[in-house]
Amino acid sequence: MIKYLDLKSITAMHGEEISQAVQRVAASGRYLLGKEVKHFEREFAGYIGSPHCIACSNGLDALSLILRAYKELGMMTDGDEVIVPANTYIASILSITDNALRPVLVEPDIHTMQIDDSLIENAITPRTRAIMLVHLYGNCAFTDRIEQIAKNHNLKIIEDNAQAHGCRFAGSSSAPRRTGSLGDAAAHSFYPGKNLGALGDAGAVTTADEALATTIRAIANYGSSKKYVFDFCGRNCRMDEVQAAVLGVKLKYLDADNARRGDIASRLMLEISNPRITVPSPRFWNSSVWHIFPVLCPDRNELQHFLAQNGIETIIHYPIPPHRQRCYASCSAESSPLKLPPCGLPVTERIHAEELSLPCNQAMTDDDVTRLIATLNDF
Ligand SMILES: *Cc1c(COP(=O)(O)O)cnc(C)c1O
């Protein structure tokens, strides 16, 4: 049996060190707002290459905090628009509607599966304030063209880096930089299944904007920067000490884990030769950290069933696109919370109908990979 993602094995790879970290916190008597969180914030900021890191409760809160802070700082107001890829996990879009802002959905490019940068300018209106880039599946969504568009139109770039810890962007003008340091602010998720995963919920914001960082830190702590003094009607979005200690251990192994994912992905791209299955092209995926290895297959459900019968677990990311979810059911109406392009979202629809995620992670052996490839080529 090849599991899609065997979290028990992944934790066990550094089990002793993780247990020691948990026990250190348990014995310390300090469970929130302590030195473990401070230490992790410093390490993660350094890793990403960003001056500030605010650890928080989860990835959705990280995204929401960024937008909320821009509102508090007077840079956005109710009804302003945020451009976002139409094919993303629902959390990206929830963070926008949660702040009474309007998501403007833009189609992805079928080759990269990232937002199509040639369609962004058409989606800009006088109300547009930001482009939310989602580095989906671990591939980089940032481009030189997007940077230029944001500059020309005075838009913030917010990165949803939930799936791409460790991914690097090599632009035409500068040395490679990590996703999470490319825009004005970035949200990270440490959900257990992410490339850098905690033993529960956790997230972070990284930014070079000091005012934004200070505001986010206050909002995430009841709106307070000084005990019992409240500048904002804040929330409780803190990361706890146990998660910070665990993440501090796992961060040391992230590059090695991503490299292993990269080796497996290279084999999958090279050796899967079934004409019914479209694999990512190395040309468009060379920066990916392979949070997800997505293939497209018109007979996706049949393929998933065939693999399951052969003891291979797969997942669909994601079966229903956000604009077809019941929570945004009014999306064709004038009053809709979502703004869709007039010609609909055929590329998004295709990805959601045909995508299947193959196992691709450091818990797999070389034999697992060989068997996965052979089974796919038998389909
Ligand atoms: C996981 C994920 C989130 C949300 O992160 P949580 O920590 O689960 O709240 C946001 N965006 C994307 C693209 C994700 O994959």
Q: What is the DSSP string of 134-199?
A: E-GGG-----HHHHHHHHHTT-EEEEE-TT-TT-EE--SSSS-EETTSSSSEEEEE--TTSSS--S
Cα–ligand 1 centroid distance for 203 (angstroms): 9
Distance CA 143, CA 160 (A): 15
- Alpha carbon 189 to chain centroid, angstroms: 7
295 CA from centroid of ligand 1 (Å): 21
Backbone angles phi, psi at 277, to 5 degrees: -120, 125
Residue 304 Cα distances to 5, 73, 79, 356, angstroms: 16, 48, 41, 7
Quote the ligand 1 centre to 162 CA distance (angstroms): 5
Q: Identify which of 167, 161, 176 has the alpha carbon closest to the alpha carbon of residue 206.
A: 161
Q: Is the pLDDT of residue 332 over 60?
A: no
Least Cα distance to 41 among 258, 253, 239 occurs for 239
Look at ligand 1, atom 4, and give the residue with the nearest C-alpha.
59
- Of 242, 208, 195, 251, nearest in space to 43 by CA: 251
User: Who's near 349: CB < 8 A, 6+ residues apart?
Assistant: 321
pLDDT at residue 330, rounded to an integer: 64
Q: Residue 81 pairs with which residues in a beta bridge?
A: 102, 128
User: Exposure pattern of 223-252 as b/e (b: 16+ CB <10 Å)?
Assistant: bbeeeeeeebebbebbbbbbbbbbbbbbbe
Q: Are 284 and 354 in contact (CB under 8 A)?
A: no
Cis peptide before 70 (omega within 30 of 0): no
> Over 90: is that where the pLDDT of 297 sits?
yes
Ligand 1 atom closest to Cα of 58? 7
Q: Provide the residue type at 360 as one letter.
A: C
Question: Which residue owns the Cα nearest ligand 1 atom 5?
Answer: 59
CA of 89 to the centre of ligand 1 (A): 7
pLDDT in tens, 96-117: 999 999 999 999 999 999 999 9
Position 219 scores a pLDDT of: 98
Tell me what pLDDT residue 175 has.
Answer: 87
What is the distance in A from the centroid of ligand 1 to the CA of 92? 7
Among 44, 104, 95, 37, smallest CA distance to 70 is for 95
Encoding tokens for residue 370? 């060989």
**What's the mean pLDDT when you consider all of the chain?**
96
| 114-168 residue pLDDT tens | 999 999 999 999 999 999 999 999 999 999 999 999 999 999 999 999 999 999 9
Q: Which residues line ligand 1 (CB under 6 A)?
A: 58-60, 88-89, 91-92, 134, 160, 162-163, 189, 191, 201, 203
Buried b (16+ CB within 10 A) or exposed e, 66-76: bbbbbbbeebb
pLDDT of residue 329: 81
pTM over 0.95: yes
The 10s digit of each residue's pLDDT in 11-23 is: 999 999 999 999 9
CA distances for 316 relative to 128, 226, 323, 352, angstroms: 32, 45, 17, 8
Query: Six-digit token pair at 299?
Result: 């007979």
Q: Of all helices (H) and strands (E), which one includes residue 222? A: none
Substitution site in 64, 160, 199 for ligand 1 pocket (most atoms within 8 Å of beta carbon): 160
The DSSP letter of residue 314 is -
Which amino acid does the sequence have at 191?
A: Y
> Binning pLDDT at 50, 70 and 90, where does residue 172 land?
confident
- Nearest by Cα to 272 from 138, 378, 360: 378
Per-residue pLDDT, 199: 98
The two tokens of residue 32 are 């929130």
